[in-house]
Amino acid sequence: MKNNEFFKIIQGAESFHYDGNSTGILICHGFLGTPQSMEYLGQAFANKGYTVRAPRLRGHGTHYFDLEKATFTDWIHELEENYLQLKDKCSQVFVLGQSMGGLLSLLIASKFKDVSGVITINVAFEVPDYEQYRNKLLPNYIEEGPPDINNKEVKEITYPYVPLKSINELLKLIDFTKDQITSIKSPVLLMHSKVDNVVPPISSKIIYERLKTTKKELVQLNNSCHVASMDFDQDKIVIDTDRFITSIVNFQYELNHISTP
């Protein structure tokens, strides 16, 4: 339990960490989600030898009353702290985030120029259904529908209601991130679902066009909806992420080898 949280962590929603080699992957869940939504990916990366860390962001995985107290700067600072902790253990660190976690991952790369690479999954560059609540004071809580997942056999840990205040914190985070995109120099892999009922797929394409980094990729997920980390493209996400990371790690190794007499 974090400061200012009054409810117990929902079983299965806890942060997780796997020790591995000197290449780390920091994983960030999305708005209303928890590390549980990223657990399949985390275990798959750990099985490949990576050191993996997935923090639970403030206000998530307990009760939406706790979420109401959290701010978007809380989430930024938490991920920054986890990045620095992982960087202490690993020579290279990649940051992977889904939806809101994708925004936070991009922000990490905009601040820390030693981020080895960023992977986003359906990054929440805009959430049209939430725009109607921008700067509104009422209602205090909005009912949430079921998670946007094609695979009906899985169940995501989330909240039945979302505080209006929290929606506006997400919208503030989106606005803040938009101003930082062009400062990112790290390689970026953007994955987006062909059908996403939360974030328009065009969002990832807009980010791709705005990025100034010389290494960027755009990959479409054809069999998943918004929560792709729990959907039918899980293995494709793992394969493409591993390929992306391996290419950067190998390039850096060759670069260091050439520059060393």
- From first to last of the 261 residues of the chain, give the pLDDT tens digit: 666 788 999 999 999 999 999 999 999 999 999 999 999 999 999 999 999 999 999 999 999 999 999 999 999 999 999 999 999 999 999 999 999 999 999 999 999 999 999 999 999 999 999 999 999 999 999 999 999 999 999 999 999 999 999 999 999 999 999 999 999 999 999 999 999 999 999 999 999 999 999 999 999 999 999 999 999 999 999 999 999 999 999 877 666 666 445
Let me know if 193 is a catalytic residue: no
Let me know if 226 is a catalytic residue. yes
* pLDDT of 5: 86
Classified as helix, coil or strand, 113 is coil
Domain presence at residue 8:
no
CATH number of the domain bearing residue 85:
3.40.50.1820
Residue 2 within any structural domain of the chain: no
Query: What DSSP state is assigned to residue 179?
Result: T
Catalytic pick among 99, 105, 166, 186: 99
Q: Which of 97, 63, 65 is nearest to 80 (CA)?
A: 97
Residue 10 falls inside a structural domain: no
Total tally of structural domains belonging to the chain: 1
- 139 prior amide bond cis, ω within 30: yes
Model pLDDT, residue 3: 66
* Both tokens assigned to 106: 């991009």
List Cα–Cα distances, 80 to 73, 84, 86, 168, 183, in angstroms. 10, 6, 10, 21, 17
In a domain, 1, yes or no: no
| Catalytic site residue from 66, 148, 196, 231 | 196
User: Which entry of 29, 60, 192, 226 is annotated as an active-site residue?
Assistant: 226
Question: Per the domain annotation, does 5 fall within a domain?
Answer: no
Question: Does residue 196 carry a catalytic annotation?
Answer: yes
In a domain? residue 243: yes
d(CA 126, CA 231): 21
Q: Which domain holds residue 148?
A: 16-259
Query: What's the token pair of residue 50?
Result: 């990576």
Q: What is the pTM of this model?
A: 0.95
d(CA 154, CA 130): 25
Q: Is 187 among the domain residues?
A: yes
Has residue 6 been placed in a domain? no
What pLDDT is stored for residue 4 in this prediction?
A: 77
pLDDT for residue 21: 98
Per-residue pLDDT at 69: 97
The whole-number pLDDT of residue 254 equals: 65
